[in-house]
Amino acid sequence: MQPFASTIAKVFYGTLIHSASIKKIEFIKQGLLFIDNQGKIAKLLRNVSQDSVHASLEGVEDDKVVRLSEDQFVIPGFIDTHIHAPQYTFCGNGHDQPLLEWLDTFTFPRESKFADKDYARKLYTKSVARSLRNGTTSACWYATIHLEACKELVQIIQEQGQRAYVGKVNMNQNSPDFLIETTESSLRDTRAFIEYVQDVNTKIDHKPLITPIITPRFAISCNSELLTELGKLAAEYDLPIQSHLCENQNEIGFTMSLFPDSANYTAVYADHGLLNGRSIMAHCVHMKDEELDLMKEKNAGISHCANSNFNLKSGMADVRKMLSKGIKVGLGTDVAGGYSPSILEALRASRTASVARDADTTLLVAELFYLATLGGAHVMELQDTIGNFEVGKEFDAILVNTSTEDSPVDIFDHDDIESKFEKYLFLGDDRNNEQIFVQGKRVRLPGSSAASRK
């Protein structure tokens, strides 16, 4: 056996589809993708004919080779840059209200239930499984303020095998009595949470997939002292940061009344050390030009949550302008402002929003697919690790089949792989996601026959 072949854990032969850049989807026909036993992409060959494939696979055992059919292709896993784990419990409800009322009526009472960690385990198991089943191989999760429930979420994500940023939410003002912390308890529990995740990561036999993320809910719910200390914690532990920004006009007005010394809402985060290259700001619907310029200057990323922005009637973000300014943008489902845990739905809503904003500058299919994959990787600052099939990256992927028994996509004789792929983007769903991989391991969801991370 050849030395290279002996480190190979899996090989895919068939059509591979990924973003080569924001403007270009590469359809790799007769591709051979080699995954090593660390879950990394070891080699990628293009246009390998049936005649020569045998030679290219020399030394690789046959049971490691997946031969894709004409209706199957492999794409990078989706990246959900903004999702609330506890809110899956009311996903699809409550869209008659705008943001601040929706938070008071639905969100805060439901999130308060996560004080009970057994309840949290039961519900988080479903949130994470649903996200994974929809092809989200990486997610930026918001939990709640409750430390023990946050730990449960980490354990569940680890059991199910998703790559994730997980945030213990911080709230010490303008929050109901049943969902509020003191500055001291908020900081103490955030530090304990960070150290818990770090400890979990020392006990695994693979490169860590879970990272704690500093998560001030939004400026309204954190006072200046807490924001400042969270900025210091992010710097001390070198961690990413996530929050909400310029989602709704009432939210912006209230924020500026609380932080009158900052030039604008975006500057509130910058003024507290919370805006840098590892910051992920969700929504950004009503951004002034100087706020977008500040995002660019700080190299901060935006999670575009079009589904949520429609549901909560927040507005339509100007993604074209963000991209033309060179700002990093990815997609977020924003469960449960967004009614769907599927990034495919986020992609479709993003297209609709871009058409409704300006039919002359709509987001193109290549751009939408990029936002769902490589764009999200940039927002997470994981572009050197995931997002497409460049050699050396880790293999996070979906094996899509457009002809599964219960497929919502109909395929006709005239369909080629390009049209099958586009049909999947606009008509497909989790029934087409035949296999899901994170760091080279097949993810098996609760209820399936085998345990996770095989």
Ligand X SMILES: O=c1[nH]c(=O)c2nc[nH]c2[nH]1
Residues engaged in binding ligand X (CB under 6 A): 84, 99, 103, 107, 217-218, 244, 247, 308, 334, 337
**What's the sign of the alpha-carbon dihedral 331, 335, 338, 344?**
positive
Give 178 or 426: the residue with its C-beta nearer to ligand X.
178
CB 268 within 8 A of CB 223: no
Q: Which of 31, 44, 30, 50 minimizes the C-alpha distance to 393? A: 44
- Alpha-carbon distance values, 409 to 167, 415, 434 (Å): 36, 12, 14
**How near is the Cβ of 300 to ligand X at its closest, in Å?**
17
CB 179 within 8 A of CB 206: no
**How near is the Cβ of 177 to ligand X at its closest, in Å?**
17
Give 41 or 379: the residue with its C-beta nearer to ligand X.
379
Give 84 or 130: the residue with its C-beta nearer to ligand X.
84
CB 142 within 8 A of CB 110: no
**How near is the Cβ of 97 to ligand X at its closest, in Å?**
11
Give 158 or 311: the residue with its C-beta nearer to ligand X.
311
| Residues pairing with 241 in the sheet | 214, 279
Give 244 or 393: the residue with its C-beta nearer to ligand X.
244
Give 11 or 99: the residue with its C-beta nearer to ligand X.
99
Q: Which of 418, 427, 444 minimizes the C-alpha distance to 344? A: 427
**How near is the Cβ of 332 to ligand X at its closest, in Å?**
9
| Residues pairing with 66 in the sheet | 12
**How near is the Cβ of 144 to ligand X at its closest, in Å?**
10
CB 308 within 8 A of CB 334: yes
CB 86 within 8 A of CB 111: yes
Q: Which residue is nearest to ligand X (CB)?
A: 337
Phi and psi at 203, nearest 5°, equal -105, 15
User: In the chain, what is the greatest distance between 2 CA atoms, to the nearest angstrom?
Assistant: 70
**How near is the Cβ of 142 to ligand X at its closest, in Å?**
7
**How near is the Cβ of 191 to ligand X at its closest, in Å?**
22
Give 102 or 369: the residue with its C-beta nearer to ligand X.
102
Distance from CA of residue 134 to its chain's centroid? 11
